[in-house]
Amino acid sequence: MTAERAKVSSARDTTTMTVGDFLLRRIREAGVGHAFGVPGDFNLEFLQQMEDSGTLDWIGTCNELNASYAADGYARLNGMAALVVTQAVGALSAINGVAGSYSEHVPVICVCGSIPLRSIERGLSMHHTMADGTWDRFLTAYAQVTAAAVRLTPDNAATEIDRLIRTAWHDKLPVYMELPSDIAYLEIEVPADPLVLAEPRSDPERVRSCADAIADRLSKAKSPAVLVDLDAARYGAAGEVMGLAEKMQLPVAVVATAKGVIDETFPHYIGIYAGAASQPHVRKSIEGSDCLLSINYRPIDLDSGSFTASLPASTICARGHSVDVGEDNFQAVTLREVLRSVTETVPQVTNRATRHFAPTAPTGNGADGSAKLTQAAYWQAIQGYIRSGDVLIAEDGTSYAAFGLQLPPKCSFVSQVIWGSIGYTVGSLLGTLTAAPDRRHLLFVGDGSFQLTAQELSTILRHDHKPVIFLINNGGYTVERGYLGKNSRFNDIADWSYADLPKVFKRNTTARSFVVKTVADLEKALSAPNDSLIFIESEMDPFDAPVPVMLGGNTGADLDYGPRGPQHRGNMQLRPPS
């Protein structure tokens, strides 16, 4: 270290704080106002610090899995979230949700109150361990599903807490800290300055060269286009994408993982790209582009039309902090700076024949009110219900039809396309409600998915949230019937009285519950005021599913089970009528 740098670092103001209070302070400074989780003896001392200091509002959940989903939903709207669990038993319940946050690029700070350092140093076996003298198993497990995992000590806490929070912010990925229960109240020297989470500045030459290279290609192209994946949302670059598209009149498509990231009423928005499963004009604009700019496209089986997606070889790939243009790779650049710089550089285009393709919203021919409710009539009615500013949360299953809804401006759309852990949306709804309590939140969920995480409805009621919950009761796992087991018992589930659950989970609830069997029943439910939680249980036929959901299952089975799989036996799959 040079003498000058040494002087700077020694001049940095420090102060004394306990490890726990410093961690809470840093989480708050990262813009997080709430923590989700379940208490346990190894984290109670930290929760006491939370309660005494009032730094974060504690949202206790029924289990840690639901807390991990809630933290994920909160972070998607808020930018970052906090999850607090206890040693091993809590941490392993939450690990599915944290892994989902990794796969979907969601920054969640997971704090695990862990066995005291004393027990490690003195070799004392504790509860919630294997009682075999090993201490690192769960830290190692979390290292597989986070960008960084560490056991805090009084020596490393001041630097590691900052390093991990910065990593979560920078990489848009979860991090994991074990907080041994005997160090939260120990005083350490910590920086006095607040944590500032600012994007690193791009290298000026690199960002200039990168923007010039992109602008040059876009300007010379005959059919340039943009394909947006979820990092555009995570890195807050949707506005920049639209700014560029507006200036150059570029058609913009999104991947399903990024539905709602681009305002669907934006004149240059053309729809969802999914390879052969796209609408023809979307496929043509993307695959036929002679200069496609992709925002970190990460295709998987489910959003690429079973890998029929094929981007032009010349595609430019822009990520959060690097860009590929042809043979060149640009480092030390940030997505937003690159996009802004490209927009400044390119000429204004006024003569490109762009056509706004509104997504084809569900339509029908005004079904007879007394008719039994069908999926087609259901989604058509919901299309008429959604309004500007809504937060929509769509679960796996036939509720995936929500991807076909045409969103009004300022809506947010939350789903877990890549990780796809059913039950996610119920926990996630608690998180989105906590992050944005003044918006209207609509949950679309199936009976099977709901059964995994239903208890969290109690936490939603406990905090007087007022979402609208659309539950499809079709007696089981209809989406799975499209893969295999159209009539098999393993796709059936217990017949709950779903609409009664608000009463069970909150005495004297004012929630409005509806059991809907016909179109007229649904219309009545949809006219209820949003002054309380609305729970709409809609009964539908187990074999009624939107065609894309059935087809997805049919082709998915061929990928999953291969040519000798059981899907080829007669009547094993729910299929669209031929």
Ligand X SMILES: Cc1ncc(C[n+]2csc(CCOP(=O)(O)OP(=O)(O)O)c2C)c(N)n1
Interface with Mg ion includes 334 (CB under 5 A)? no
Give contact residues for ligand X (rule: CB under 6 A): 395-399, 420-422, 446-449, 472, 474, 477-480
567 contact choice in Mg ion, ligand X, none (CB below 5 to 8 Å, kind-dependent): none
Is 476 marked active-site?
yes
Is 290 marked active-site?
no
Residue 349, judged by CB atoms within 10 A of its CB (0-12, 13-18, 19+), counts as: middle
Of the candidates 305, 476, 485, 556, the residue annotated as catalytic is 476
Of the candidates 34, 37, 40, 64, the residue annotated as catalytic is 64
d(C-alpha 314, C-alpha 123), whole Å: 58
d(C-alpha 542, C-alpha 530), whole Å: 29
| CB-facing half-sphere around the CA of 298: CA atoms within 13 A | 14
Query: CB of 106: closest distance to ligand X in angstroms?
Result: 17
Of the candidates 474, 539, 544, 553, the residue annotated as catalytic is 474
Q: Which range in 51-59, 158-166, 320-328, 470-478 contacts Mg ion by CB under 5 A? A: 470-478
Of the candidates 420, 475, 554, 558, the residue annotated as catalytic is 420
**Do 33 and 81 touch, CB atoms closer than 8 A?**
no
396 contact choice in Mg ion, ligand X, none (CB below 5 to 8 Å, kind-dependent): ligand X
Kindly tell me which of 61 and 449 has the beta carbon lying closer to ligand X. 449
Kindly tell me which of 307 and 490 has the beta carbon lying closer to Mg ion. 490
78 contact choice in ligand X, Mg ion, none (CB below 5 to 8 Å, kind-dependent): none
d(C-alpha 233, C-alpha 104), whole Å: 11
Is 558 marked active-site?
no
Query: Bridge-partner residues for 228, per DSSP?
Result: 254, 295
Interface with Mg ion includes 264 (CB under 5 A)? no
Binding Mg ion (rule: CB under 5 A), the pick from 474, 513, 538, 573 is: 474
Interface with Mg ion includes 181 (CB under 5 A)? no
Kindly tell me which of 399 and 415 has the beta carbon lying closer to ligand X. 399
Give the contact letters, 421-450, x = binds to Mg ion (CB under 5 A), - = no: -------------------------xxx--
Q: Helix %, strand %, coil % for the chain, to 5?
A: 40, 20, 40
Exposure string of 185-218, with b = 16+ CB inside 10 Å and e = fewer, is: eeebebbeeebebeeeebeeebbeebbebbbebb
d(C-alpha 532, C-alpha 464), whole Å: 8
- How remote is the C-alpha of 536 from its chain's centroid? 24
Kindly tell me which of 94 and 126 has the beta carbon lying closer to ligand X. 94
Of the candidates 29, 33, 41, 389, the residue annotated as catalytic is 41
Is 79 marked active-site?
no
- Cβ of 365: how many Cβ atoms within 10 Å? 8
Interface with Mg ion includes 482 (CB under 5 A)? no
Query: CB of 452: closest distance to Mg ion in angstroms?
Result: 12
303 contact choice in Mg ion, ligand X, none (CB below 5 to 8 Å, kind-dependent): none
Is 205 marked active-site?
no
| Residue (of 452, 469, 451) closest to 460 by Cα position | 469
| Residue (of 421, 470, 426) closest to 70 by Cα position | 426
**Do 21 and 69 touch, CB atoms closer than 8 A?**
no
Is 562 marked active-site?
no
Interface with Mg ion includes 287 (CB under 5 A)? no
Which amino acid would we find at residue 302? L
The residue at minimum Cβ distance from Mg ion is 446
Backbone φ and ψ of 21, nearest 5°: -65, -35
Query: CB of 480: closest distance to ligand X in angstroms?
Result: 5
Using DSSP, state whether 508 is helix, strand or coil: coil
DSSP collapsed to 3 states, 3-20: HHHHHHHHHCCEEEEEHH
Query: Bridge-partner residues for 148, per DSSP?
Result: 175
Strands 252-254 and 224-228: parallel
Query: CB of 99: closest distance to ligand X in angstroms?
Result: 11
Residues 6 or more apart whose Cβ sits within 8 Å of residue 103:
418, 419
Is 260 marked active-site?
no
Of the candidates 105, 128, 321, 441, the residue annotated as catalytic is 128
Kindly tell me which of 309 and 479 has the beta carbon lying closer to Mg ion. 479
Kindly tell me which of 432 and 478 has the beta carbon lying closer to Mg ion. 478
Is 240 marked active-site?
no
Kindly tell me which of 24 and 426 has the beta carbon lying closer to ligand X. 426
Query: CB of 479: closest distance to Mg ion in angstroms?
Result: 8
425 contact choice in ligand X, Mg ion, none (CB below 5 to 8 Å, kind-dependent): none
Is 63 marked active-site?
no
Q: Which residues bind Mg ion (CB under 5 A)?
A: 446-448, 474, 478
Residues with catalytic function:
41, 64, 127-128, 420, 447, 474, 476, 480
